[in-house]
Amino acid sequence: MTFINEPALELRRAEVRDRATAALADLDARLPIDVPVLIDGRPAPGTPFDSVDPGNPATVVARVQGASAAQADTAVAAAAAAYPEWSARTGHERAEIVRRAAALLRSNRLGAAALAVRECGKPWADADADVCEAIDFLEYYANGAAAMDDGQPLLQMPGERNALRYVGRGVTAVIAPWNFPLAIATGMVSAALVTGNTVVFKPAEQAPACARLVVDALHAAGVPHGALALLPGGDEPGKALVAHPGVHTIAFTGSCAAGLSILETAARLAPGQRHIKRVVAEMGGKNCVVVDEDADLDDAVPGIVASAFAFAGQKCSAASRVLVHEAIADDLIERLSGAIATLQVGPAEDFATDVPPVIDREAQERVASYVDKGGAPAAQAPAAGDAAADGGPAVSSDGYYARPTLFVDLPEDHPVVTEEIFGPVLAVQRVPSIDAACEIVDAGTFALTGGIYSRSPRTIESFVRRSPVGNVYVNQPITGAMVGRQPFGGGRLSGTGPKAGGPDYLLQFVEARSVSEDTVRHGLVV
């Protein structure tokens, strides 16, 4: 089947906004959502905790049962028991189930987006894009699994038949983040399932209701209950899965520190383990935008602002550094400062909001600590609770809000410049040349996304050739990778390399087996 990206909603249209508002009201009437431990289709109790709206923490979005290490062990056993039947199905059969899950998400598109708005503080445009990407992953990976099922062409010789087949590896542990609670979770889970693996899914504790929506859609589409378990909770179930000898593959998206710990643990052979675990990890970045002296600032300024401050900078692809040619640095800084000062900080459900709250109190305090370290900022957006820039009413400051902040000319070794903040903080530094900017980028430990604004084809070609990052953007924002169009993933400390939403991603979840048969008759069977 031909793959086409799911089109975004036209939120500029009043009738679309009205439908979105109605979907959110319907969700609010049903809160809180119950999220149990779910193993082999049977809900189980755990350690209770709540998931809350980061824009209004008094609103409980989900009542959650946190899983234990013992329940992780039970879930792996159930997934292992379900593996023979699920893996025996053809890739085409599994692909059809995954496509049905995409159709179910599409039919509940506004409801799913509303849940991301409420549980994770995603503004409507970002929440809708999250649903679109989840649908895209399901359909793209379904196509890939069906093609994989047809096998690879091999050299054939007279009297010999050769075939290469792909089979699932076994039980996959999926450990997903909160910032793309639908898309990334769906992508990792569906990639494992559609290639014949069974899955134990441990979502971020900030997004359990979104995780249940994903699991429910896949079960309703036909994924056997034993083949997909849900373990909400904190670190305990995740650590147990990583160390478990029955887990064959670990798909993880999150912080560099957590990813490195997973890689270290997974490399150790546990008692009874007869396989080498494979880790598919995406671990964030410290992403730079380079601005050449001939750049069109009418393009660069809005592109940088969108890359740095959309969803409060809580994207692993978000821009956190700008390296600008000194010849135009003052002009860029002035225009960025003016743009940032007009950003509206507010609740995610408000269609006028530019920058929503960060995910929780810990994130809010982390961002505030970096702002304090940075000293006097060059520019800041009005804080939630301040009067709006247009003279309108102030936004409530009850949520976990962080002010978009710009720093200029900090030292090269300053924490704001070198460390991943995962919040709405941007550092601008002057460089004498694009070559100097390339050297700075190349010296970094992360290599996820990056971009350049320039009108010179030669400069662009040189930058693209020298850039170590996994996703390079030219004269456009550096966030918003589209499935099938911009396969996503980085190197160095940004991850283990496979590109989500690309043609090689499914290969991480399978083993290749070669079969060679002598077809010359050696007598008759009597």
Residue 451 lies in a domain: yes
Encode pLDDT of 384-417 as tens digits.
866 544 444 444 568 999 999 999 999 999 999 9
Q: Determine if the peptide bond prior to 468 is cis (ω within 30°).
A: no
Helix 109-120 with 91-107: angle, nearest 10 deg: 80
Claim to verify: residue 317 and residue 249 sit in the same structural domain: no
Please identify which residue in the block is written with the tokens 């995740």.
Answer: 238
Question: Is the same domain home to 319 and 402?
Answer: yes
Q: Is residue 492 part of a domain?
A: no
Do 93 and 229 fall into the same domain? yes
Non-local CB neighbours of 190 within 8 Å, separated by 6+ positions:
98, 101, 137, 138, 141, 142, 218
pTM, two decimal places: 0.96
Q: Is residue 205, in this structure, part of any structural domain at all?
A: yes
Task: Note whether 209 and 74 are same-domain residues.
Answer: yes
369 domain-assigned: yes
Distances in whole angstroms, Cα of residue 282 to Cα of each of 65, 131, 243, 499: 27, 20, 19, 9
**Which residues are the active-site residues?**
282, 316
Query: Domain check: are 470 and 447 in the same one?
Result: yes
Burial (Cβ within 10 Å: 0-12, 13-18, ≥19) of residue 29: exposed
Residue 60: inside a domain, yes or no? no
Residues 101 and 245 in one domain: yes
Residue 57 within a domain:
no
pLDDT tens-digit series, residues 447-492? 999 999 999 999 999 999 999 999 999 999 999 999 999 999 999 9
Residues 121 and 135 in one domain: yes
Q: Evaluate whether residue 88 is within a structural domain.
A: yes
Residue 134 sits in the same domain as residue 240 = yes
Q: What is the CATH number of the domain that holds 504?
A: 3.40.605.10
Q: What pLDDT tens digit does each residue of the chain (526 aa) get?
A: 899 999 999 999 999 999 999 999 999 999 999 999 999 999 999 999 999 999 999 999 999 999 999 999 999 999 999 999 999 999 999 999 999 999 999 999 999 999 999 999 999 999 999 999 999 999 999 999 999 998 888 999 999 999 999 999 999 999 999 999 999 999 999 999 999 999 999 999 999 999 999 999 999 999 999 999 999 999 999 999 999 999 999 999 999 999 999 999 999 999 999 999 999 999 989 999 999 999 999 999 999 999 999 999 999 999 999 999 999 999 999 999 999 999 999 999 999 999 999 999 999 999 999 999 999 999 999 988 665 444 444 445 689 999 999 999 999 999 999 999 999 999 999 999 999 999 999 999 999 999 999 999 999 999 999 999 999 999 999 999 999 999 999 999 999 988 999 999 999 999 999 999 999 977 666 6
pLDDT digits (tens, 9 = 90+) for 91-108: 999 999 999 999 999 999
Domain residues for the domain of 179 are 14-50+66-150+167-283+498-511
Q: Both 506 and 428 in a single domain?
A: no
* 279 and 137 within one domain: yes
- Residue in the block written with tokens 């693996």: 197
Residues 270 and 363 in one domain: no
**How far is 436 from 426, CA to CA, in rounded Å?**
20
Verify that 190 and 294 share a domain, yes or no.
no
In-domain check, residue 384: yes
Alpha helices (runs of H) in 409-505, residue ranges in sequence order = 415-418, 434-442, 457-466
Domain total of the chain: 2
CATH number at residue 476: 3.40.309.10
